[in-house]
Structure 1
Amino acid sequence: MAVERLVVIGGDAAGMSAASQARRLKGPGELGIVAFERGHFASYSACGIPYWVGGDVEGPEALVARTPEEHRARSIDLRTRTEVTEIDVAGQRVRALDRDSGETYWTGFDKLVVATGARPVRPAIPGIDAPGVHGVQTLDDGRALLDSLEGTAGRRAVVVGAGYIGVEMAEALLNRGFEVTVLNRGAQPMATLDPDMGRLVHTAMDGLGITTVNGAAVTRVLTGDDGRVSAVATADASYPADVVVLGIGVEPETALARAAGLPTGPNGGLLTDLSMRVRGHGNIWAGGDCVEVLDLVAGHTRHIALGTHANKHGQIIGSNAAGGYGTFPGVVGTAVSKVCDLEIGRTGLREKDASAVGLRYVTATIESTGRAGYYPGARAMTVKMLAEYRTGRLLGVQIVGREGAAKRIDVAAVALTARMTVEEMTALDLGYAPPFSPVWDPVLVAARRTVAVLRRAGTA
């Protein structure tokens, strides 16, 4: 009897987690596994690239969880530098291109995993593809950026965008000794926060020596006589640049899947069921940054590119593809980041998210500290909380502060998943000791304040 073949497109978190889990459940005599990766590396932490660029961690090898050789030793036929260029759904085969030799060939599959990830957003403006302009999504991208930084005598860097990637890359470039300007088309940095919380991030960036220009939509990348980037222009000004990093965000890499007729959602990501099976296709799964996931608070699908989700998707896909069972119920939108010593956390809905899905809400914002006020090193922390009008159900939390701020968001993430009210949250039995928290943890203080706001509104 012929051995079934599982083909995986994409060799990072979701793809190789799926391959590894399937191999744990079925040996090579039961299931053959072929994985295609167009880059040099597999199973790496893309989230660690800003810290590699900034010199905080070694790379790229330190960011690799499992090398191609280690995967192959586990009977997974991982083919690096090989790009899948076509999926033939009806014929159950994929066409691959060896990027070194130029050879193309077809490989058949019984089961297919699409884990093509995401790509950095590159706005369609003149000069965007000039040498010295970098998107940062893969280890190869990180290496190219470092080569660019080391190859330029100038020390002026412009980061386009002020989301997670933009802010983290601004810090990395600052650590490298560059003069950093961040051009942000929004009202405040970190559009994943409400503007009042984003303003705290802006203030902190200014204090670090990062110049942040808000309301600055880039219109053109200017180049010198050598064709390399020389400046970035907006409608109002021009900013000299020896290197440019695109931190606008990412979008799902689904061109291959769309060409094969696989379904995508309003955000461009592939649509799957709870088992991560592509809708309408019994033998095709998809996971990681190329899919849309259900937002458990808003009730609709979103595109969220995070390694945490990708690894979970891969585990579920690998189990299901090997005959086991697993589901991915959705997310609440939790994310953390930092810029130098400022920590940023968010989960659930922002004010505009709640309004967009028709939810009425109240908000409360409190100032507290991450430790008991009398304990050495106590630093300020701001917590903003949203709750549904009348019911008091928690809708979202944002936290900006110093040490201990970011991971407090996990308490709110659990409360959101459990659909707790803010009044129920006030009774949570959280850990306390002066080095770690005031008697009333900042999250609980915010919950109490939100309850008070609800009561004043006559809803609690």
Structure 2
Amino acid sequence: MSMNGGRERLVVIGGDAAGMSAASQARRLRGPDELEIVAFERGHFTSYSACGIPYWVGGDVGERDELIARSPEEHRARAIDLRMRTEVTEIDVAGKRVRARDVDSGAESWTPYDKLVIGTGARPIRPDMPGADAPGVHGVQTLDDGQALLDTLARTRGRRAVVVGAGYIGVEMAEALINRGYEVTVVNRGSEPMSTLDPDMGRLVHEAMEGLGITMVNDTEVTKVLTGQDGRVRAVATEHAEYPADVVILGIGVRPETGLAQAAGLPVGQHGGLLTDLAMRVRGHEDIWAGGDCVEVLNLVSGQEQYIPLGTHANKHGQVIGTNVGGGYATFPGVVGTAVSKVCDLEIARTGLREKDALRVGLQFEAVTIESTSRAGYYPGANPMTVKMLAERRTGRLLGVQIVGREGAGKRVDIAAVALTANMTVEQMTALDLGYAPPFSPVWDPVLVAARKATAKVSAP
């Protein structure tokens, strides 16, 4: 029984994908007379697509509101007491309560809970260097961030942009700024862009980005952001050079936002994300759940916890949490590490393990790379694509796939994602009954061509 007149109270920290999916699913299962739901969100927006921000900035998505799946008013209409612009500053696990502060007024109050959901998300990594907080330097993690960047672009006369980092956000923001007519330089500390790929596949992305007019500077760290007399950014400096900039985008990744949880003594893993069981319950805590970009997930291929902040996972976590909080039963078994991205017309996809991931967990493998096309070679619009495949030595178990190509390349990675989840061998994959007609693929789909080559390699004496 609860402290709340017979009703249980669910408190949710974070109003985006995981938190509000959990709240909505719990509400479907239990009405307001059984379960009171209070949710806190420190920003201006709820239930939005952070993944869509680069496309909004670049002009592919016209209006900010198109990225919002459910507004605060829509949540409140479903009997969720959603408190916007309110930041939770402390979790009192022993007392089963949270302290929250109104961002605008500074007023603080405690709210007791029976069940707690932590969906605090991730925060952009801001380099610890002079000028990183100067006006004109932007991270892009939330809708508030996206709006601030668009406001800066509207006010800025110059057309020179520097993107720091060449992961998903970096390459997507480079595309967005190219689309807006900016001169774009990407400064990347890795040897090639997209460190989620092996360097030989990252090289293909590098060449394509330069072909789009983006200046790529690899193997280089930004050491400081230089400002003008007005205090605004004017350039970024590396050890050997300066790159003029009217706007700087930080695309060097994110970290789990778990300071609040760590201060409360909740368990975090080696990547800094909260650790949960299969039901997304925080380990060792009966009444606390966590999901989304603040947790670590099990990689089903490596068998190890990994930090993979993606909206797909966050929404699934929320469904699982909401089901369990609402009295049902659901689990989240883990991921295989699938992601797709694009920079202009180049599609980039990966799933499973890279070479260095396999080596780190002690797996021996064979790697093959093939060139093919998205359609039958004679059919109009056939585009080249490169597929790299890793298979375990001796057993032939599929370990990972990376694909770089033009239209029709990216979503082919889903074939491999399913095969990885099903623990298939590359030989079993060669028999997959995939859809074929000349407008869709060659007779042998590129993924199956790679599987054939991998089969021959793992079975060679």
Which of 103, 107, 118 is equivalent to 1:114? 118
Q: Does 1:71 align with 2:79?
A: no
Find the counterpart in structure 2 of residue 136 from structure 1.
140
Structure 1 residue 206 displacement after superposition: 0.4
Find the counterpart in structure 2 of residue 43 from structure 1.
47
Q: Distance in 1 between matches of 2:22 and 2:311?
A: 13
* Partner deviation per Cα, 1:233-289 (whole Å, 9 max, x = no partner): 111111000000000111100001000110000000000000000001000000000
Q: Does 1:210 align with 2:230?
A: no
Structure 1 residue 422 displacement after superposition: 0.2
Q: Distance in 2 between matches of 1:213 and 1:338?
A: 19
Structure 1 residue 59 displacement after superposition: 2.7
Q: Does 1:24 align with 2:28?
A: yes
Structure 1 residue 453 displacement after superposition: 1.4
Amino acid paired to 1:335: A
Structure 1 residue 391 displacement after superposition: 0.4
Find the counterpart in structure 2 of residue 168 from structure 1.
172
| Corresponding pairs, count | 457
Alignment of 1:90-239 (within 5 A): 90-239=94-243
* Partner deviation per Cα, 1:284-334 (whole Å, 9 max, x = no partner): 000000000000011110110100000000000001011110000000000
Q: Does 1:404 align with 2:411?
A: no
Which of 276, 279, 302 is equivalent to 1:275? 279
Find the counterpart in structure 2 of residue 9 from structure 1.
13
Structure 1 residue 102 displacement after superposition: 1.5
Preserved CA contact (<8 Å) 2:54 2:172: yes
Amino acid paired to 1:34: V
Amino acid paired to 1:384: K
SS at match of 2:146: helix
Q: Does 1:334 align with 2:338?
A: yes
Q: Distance in 1 between matches of 2:446 and 2:89?
A: 51
SS at match of 2:39: strand
Runs of 4+ residues over 6 Å off in structure 1: none
Q: Does 1:387 align with 2:375?
A: no
Q: Normalising to structure 1: TM-score of the pair?
A: 0.99
Alignment of 1:317-396 (within 5 A): 317-396=321-400
Q: Distance in 2 between matches of 1:192 and 1:236?
A: 27
Q: Distance in 2 between matches of 1:218 and 1:235?
A: 7
Find the counterpart in structure 1 of residue 441 from structure 2.
437
SS at match of 1:416: helix
Q: Distance in 2 between matches of 1:96 and 1:262?
A: 18
Structure 1 residue 118 displacement after superposition: 0.3
Amino acid paired to 2:224: R
SS at match of 2:401: strand
SS at match of 1:86: strand
Q: Distance in 2 between matches of 1:233 and 1:450?
A: 44
Q: Normalising to structure 2: TM-score of the pair?
A: 0.99
Preserved CA contact (<8 Å) 2:394 2:459: no
Q: Distance in 1 between matches of 2:63 and 2:151?
A: 13
Preserved CA contact (<8 Å) 2:346 2:405: yes
Structure 1 residue 455 displacement after superposition: 2.6
Preserved CA contact (<8 Å) 2:10 2:38: yes
Q: Does 1:265 align with 2:275?
A: no
Amino acid paired to 1:280: G
SS at match of 1:79: strand
SS at match of 1:324: coil
Q: Distance in 1 between matches of 2:95 and 2:196?
A: 42
Amino acid paired to 1:367: E
Find the counterpart in structure 2 of residue 243 from structure 1.
247
Q: Distance in 1 between matches of 2:127 and 2:391?
A: 36
SS at match of 1:336: strand
Unpaired runs of at least 5, structure 1: none
Amino acid paired to 2:452: R
* Partner deviation per Cα, 1:361-383 (whole Å, 9 max, x = no partner): 00000000000000000010000
Q: Quick one: percent identity of the two aligned structures? A: 78
Q: Distance in 2 between matches of 1:211 and 1:250?
A: 24
Aligned-residue RMSD, C-alpha: 0.6
Amino acid paired to 2:193: P
